[in-house]
Amino acid sequence: MSHRQATAGPGTDGPDVRTGLDEHSLQRAFLDNLFYLQGRFLELASTNDRFKALAFTVRDRILHRLVATVKAYQRHDPRTVCYLSAEYLPGPHLDNNLLSLGITEASRRALGELGVDLDEIVAHEEEPGLGNGGLGRLAACFMDSLATLEIPAIGYGIRYEFGIFTQVIRDGWQHEVTDTWLRYGSPWEVRRPNIAHDVRIGGTTERYHDEAGRLRVRWNPHEVFRGVAIDTPILGHGVNTVNVLRLWTAEAPEALDFQAFNQGDYYGAVHRKVRSETISKVLYPNDEPEVGKRLRLIQQYFFVTCSLQDMLRILANNGRPVTDFPEKFAVQLNDTHPAIAVAELMRLLVDEHRLAWETAWDVVGRTFAYTNHTLLPEALETWPVPLFESVLPRHLEIIYEINARFLDEVRLRFPYDNELVQRMSLIDESGPRYVRMANLACVGSHAINGVAELHSRLVRENLLPDFHAMWPERFHNKTNGVSPRRFLMLGNPELTALLTRTLGEGWSRDLGRLRELERHADDPAFQSEWRDAKWARKRALADMIRERVGTDVDPNSLFDVMVKRIHEYKRQHLKMLHVLTLYHRIKRDPSANVFPRTCVFGGKAAPGYHMAKRIIKLITAVGETIDRDPDVRGRLKVVFVPNLSVKVAQWIYPAADLSEQISTAGKEASGTGNMKFALNGAVTIGTLDGANVEIREAVGAENFFLFGLSTEEVERTWVDGYDPRTYLGADEELRAVLELLRGGLFTRGDTEILRPLIEHLERHDTYRLFADYASYVQCQDAVERAYRDADGWTRMSILNTARMGRFSSDRTIREYAEQTWNVAPLHVELDAEAGGRGA
Ligand code: NBG
């Protein structure tokens, strides 16, 4: 096939219409797509029509590079990273793809001539909310960095039809509305009906002897359905590499329908189809106990088996034996959600490819690496054995066999320790029996990592000490990072322009270059440009808040921001205790000199997490009361921005002066929002938790507001005993704040609404808010003093950005590539003949 055929479609008069990056080609392509793909012309086109026409224009250019990439991968057959993740939060694709292709301004001009506003089109895109928070967004940043670093990779996951719910605030409370990201279809997806794999569920197993007389196991499933691949291309920034995000959607196999149809069971066939499709229907919100969620286990197995079968297919296509699996693929388990992969690969290799157990186990051990993302005991996945057996009977047998061999090894190494054997067992037998997914992941992986220095140490010392004692060489740290393309360039055009003027082009791919900013930290002219950039973003956020929340915020006030999932360990309510302290000071003395502050909150609560929902109510209730209070209005403001998403967050990070990272020490594995804020020049107030520790080291203690107990001090409160009332007794301001809350002032006299929150704090205070309160308030007073000195604050802001280069996800991915995956970049050239001009 000639390249011309491949690049010039019908109705076009040259290859450039589909591949050209100049203004003219883009304009032609946009109009062509409007006309031939949607049957629309400009005057009648809706915003959605225009969005699609531009998206397809961009997609052509990306598919052009995808083809070049796949050809290169076929020619070189490189070792490939397979990232297994139940969640991805890529954000809207259009803006990022325009940026990666370097055609944002050309597109703006091309559309502008037609009277079409690029920003309006970009704002129209609905993002795939296929994740809960940090873990899913990290996976998306990793996909961005893998492509940008030209590393061959596939991101595997689930194409949920309904992603994370849409949050609406009604009467101050969170309500959940189903997500509709597919309402108009997604222009980025490429459906691959020929890439489909069978998925079996339930049933029984049976022993038999094969032709050679060897004992084998057959799985007779109760149900079979199918996973079909839907690819989303992920283009690297400024390179030609396009990797794919391959998400599986569940379908009924045609064969089954057909059989039922022949037997006259038409409705049965339809029901089976509907049941199959429910598997990839909806994303589970986290923070709720997993136990009993049969569908969730099926989802995990579903995407894992499809992905592993897909890797085996690729291996076979390349003419390589199954034993080459670990040479071809480095498979990363993003938390324990895909940990069933350890047993599934054993099943595929032993039962289907007929490898000997030992050979298969060697393949498995060289293939997988596991990342832990949480220390919260309630978030560690376990499955009740009866449930597990009913869904995956063969896997339970395999897990028993892995366990028997593994525990033999443990007994040999530590012969006198029976309790150790019980702790390390893949099966928890202390009460009702559970399968422990973290233990399975550890046993089946050659590398195990945490996501920040502190977290990795706590994983070694507190979470998995027995595994660390057994295999210290497997444990390591990979501190998280974030994509500077997504979280600096896209969200913060003014700062981006200033950085490019100062540093030259290309800094986002070599983020260490931000350090050169240090030279300008005290330069008044540069400081003034820096403040202008921040001001522009604060004004833009103020506009967004006016539009979405219907309230006015003053860009001259200190923007004090906390956006992340709502969780008690993250302590949004500690921030509220500070807000109430300021409120109390103003009420007590209306002439008190409090610097005007706008406290911006955002984040979703899991639908079943009632305390988190009450925290949202607390925030909105205080916000409303303040707005009604002439003493306080204009000096203190609390806003809750609904429905935090990647898209919304892109407006928020760049506008922040102060970043709130105030979790109880030892609870936040890493945090990545902390990095996004600091990269955009916000100064952090935070505890010594997660990656805060490393951020503080990087930016310098004098440019970071530290408060609160350390992890060790928090641990000591659990050993020595902790009584929140001691703190209450000793702190007059805290007492006053609690009285304010109790009195019903913020809930129009209703004293029941906030009671569970208050009572929990006074009786238990699991997350040690009272212990950290005084230190937090003092620290906030120091923040206020610092903020009054505009030059000093600007200097801190500049130094924060300047020293955040290490928190690019490019750095994280380089570390994984070199230390865990052993993969190398593969440069992709664009075929000149095919009409492309490489970026
Ligand atoms: C989250 C942690 C964050 C961390 C992200 C990404 C889960 C299970 N964990 O602290 O809470 O930044 O993972 O590593 O979502």
DSSP string, 603-629: ----TT-HHHHHHHHHHHHHHHHHHH-
pLDDT score at 289:
57
Catalytic residue check, 564: yes
Query: Ligand 1 within 6 A of 670 CB?
Result: yes
pLDDT score at 707:
99
Pick the catalytic residue from 166, 367, 672, 794.
Answer: 672
Catalytic residue check, 565: yes
Q: Which residues of the chain have pLDDT under 70?
A: 1-15, 255-262, 287-292, 832-839
pLDDT score at 265:
78
User: Which DSSP helix (H) or strand (E) runs through 205?
Assistant: strand 204-209
User: Which DSSP helix (H) or strand (E) runs through 479?
Assistant: none
Could you tell which of 132, 371, 373, 812 is best to mutate to test the pocket of ligand 1, judged by most ligand atoms within 8 Å of the CB? 373
Q: From ligand 1's centre to the CA of 222, what distance in Å?
A: 36
What is the Cα–Cα distance from 759 to 765, expressed in whole angstroms?
A: 9
Q: What residues have CB less than 8 Å from 412, skipping those under 6 apart? A: none
Mean pLDDT of the chain: 95
pLDDT score at 779:
98
Query: Ligand 1 within 6 A of 135 CB?
Result: yes
Q: From ligand 1's centre to the CA of 381, what distance in Å?
A: 14
What is the Cα–Cα distance from 448 to 335, expressed in whole angstroms?
A: 10
Q: From ligand 1's centre to the CA of 475, what distance in Å?
A: 18
Query: Ligand 1 within 6 A of 287 CB?
Result: no
Report DSSP letters for 772-801, one per residue: HHHHHHHHHHHHHHHHHSHHHHHHHHHHHH
Asked whether the CA dihedral 776, 379, 425, 330 is positive or negative, the reply is negative
Catalytic residue check, 672: yes
With the CA atoms of 353, 356, 357 and 363 taken in that order, what torsion angle do they form, in degrees rounded to the nearest 10?
Answer: -70
Could you tell which of 88, 376, 451 is best to mutate to test the pocket of ligand 1, judged by most ligand atoms within 8 Å of the CB? 451
In which residue are the tokens 């990072």 written?
481
Of ligand 1's listed atoms, the one at least distance from the Cα of 134 is: 5
Pick the catalytic residue from 197, 460, 570, 768.
Answer: 570
User: Does the pTM exceed 0.85?
Assistant: yes
pLDDT score at 835:
43
Pick the catalytic residue from 50, 108, 564, 613.
Answer: 564
Task: Map 402-459 to HEC letters.
Answer: HHHHHHHHHHHHCCCCHHHHHHHCCEECCCCCEEEHHHHHHHCEEEEEECCHHHHHHH
**Reduced to 3 states, what is the DSSP secondary structure of residue 17?**
helix
Could you tell which of 88, 132, 135, 375 is best to mutate to test the pocket of ligand 1, judged by most ligand atoms within 8 Å of the CB? 135
Q: From ligand 1's centre to the CA of 669, what distance in Å?
A: 6
For residue 171, count CB atoms less than 10 angstroms from its CB and return exposed for 0-12, middle for 13-18, buried for 19 or more: exposed
What is the Cα–Cα distance from 342 to 441, expressed in whole angstroms?
A: 7
pLDDT score at 4:
35
The single-letter DSSP state of residue 482 is: B
Nearest CA to ligand 1 atom 6: 135
Amino acid 801 reads T
**Could you read off the pLDDT of 408-432 as tens digits, one per residue?**
999 999 999 999 999 999 999 999 9
Q: Are 724 and 762 in contact (CB under 8 A)?
A: yes
Nearest CA to ligand 1 atom 12: 671
Pick the catalytic residue from 64, 394, 567, 676.
Answer: 676
Query: Ligand 1 within 6 A of 666 CB?
Result: no
Of ligand 1's listed atoms, the one at least distance from the Cα of 138 is: 6
In which residue are the tokens 């003219």 written?
24
Measured distance between the N- and C-terminal CA atoms of the chain, rounded to whole angstroms: 25
Query: Ligand 1 within 6 A of 89 CB?
Result: no
**Could you read off the pLDDT of 595-617 as tens digits, one per residue?**
999 999 999 999 999 999 999 99
Query: Ligand 1 within 6 A of 451 CB?
Result: yes
Catalytic residue check, 478: no
> How would you classify the pairing of strands 153-158 and 80-84?
parallel
Q: From ligand 1's centre to the CA of 133, what distance in Å?
A: 8
Q: From ligand 1's centre to the CA of 671, what distance in Å?
A: 6
Q: From ligand 1's centre to the CA of 690, what distance in Å?
A: 10
Q: From ligand 1's centre to the CA of 658, what distance in Å?
A: 21
Of ligand 1's listed atoms, the one at least distance from the Cα of 132 is: 15
pLDDT score at 257:
58
Q: From ligand 1's centre to the CA of 380, what distance in Å?
A: 12
Q: Are 398 and 342 in contact (CB under 8 A)?
A: no
What is the Cα–Cα distance from 228 to 267, expressed in whole angstroms?
A: 23
pLDDT score at 100:
98
What is the Cα–Cα distance from 557 to 540, expressed in whole angstroms?
A: 14
Query: Ligand 1 within 6 A of 672 CB?
Result: yes
Query: Ligand 1 within 6 A of 676 CB?
Result: no
Query: Tokens at residue 690, please?
Result: 């997660």
Query: Ligand 1 within 6 A of 141 CB?
Result: no
What is the Cα–Cα distance from 20 to 13, expressed in whole angstroms?
A: 12
Nearest CA to ligand 1 atom 9: 373
